[in-house]
Amino acid sequence: MFSEGDRATSRGLPINGEPLGPRHRANVGATARARDLGLKGHSKGRKIAASNRRRERAAYQDQGRELARRGDLLHAAGCMLYWAEGSKARNQLQFCNSDPQLVRFFVQFLRQYFDLRDEDIRIACYLFADHIERQREIERFWLESLALPNSSLRRSIVNVYSRHSKKKRVNRLPYGTCRVVVSKTRVTQHIFGSIQEYGGFDRPEWLD
């Protein structure tokens, strides 16, 4: 804890009834200015870092636009799938679907165009109450379908049916749904750039 004298000194006030001398007052003023400069420098540093990250995202979008101009059908299909089914977060790709063939196609797209390793791809299963007894089987099904190791699997989420929907939903999705996650800004922003190029529009919020 600071003493009363320390607090008084920091405010440039007299200590024990004795006024501060010119040198002491100068030191107090210099300390305050240094503190203010430090805060301004920190704020400026954050702005510079944010600007650099934005330029990086823009560069990745430009790469996606350039590839889109080549008219590669597989690339176009993968990007359109993400436009329809993917999250629109700036720095993390998330794609969720219940169709095993569709999810497998999307993962193949990611591997082919972004040179991803198995450890770059994470999956999580979204299950319902009637899946609980088959949870391990379903998790194994998705890993094998996507040719991924056990280390790619994250904790499954089990949703309990409401009283209203229970009879309607049982067995409608035999393998639940699978969410694919890739935490790489370059992948997400490349796809965003490609989507805009294919669609002929600009979506600034995907960049900012």
Domain membership of residue 129 (yes or no) is yes
Domain membership of residue 56 (yes or no) is yes
Tell me the CA distances in angstroms from 13 to 20, 35, 36, 128, one per residue in order. 7, 18, 20, 68
pLDDT digits over 149-175, tens only? Answer: 999 999 999 987 666 655 555 567 899
Residue 177 DSSP class: E
Domain membership of residue 151 (yes or no) is yes
CATH number of domain containing 68: 3.30.1330
Domain membership of residue 35 (yes or no) is no
pLDDT digits over 99-139, tens only? Answer: 999 999 999 999 999 999 999 999 999 998 888 899 999 99
Q: Total structural domains in the chain? A: 1
Query: Is this model's pTM higher than 0.85 or not?
Result: no
And the tokens for 16? 């024990």
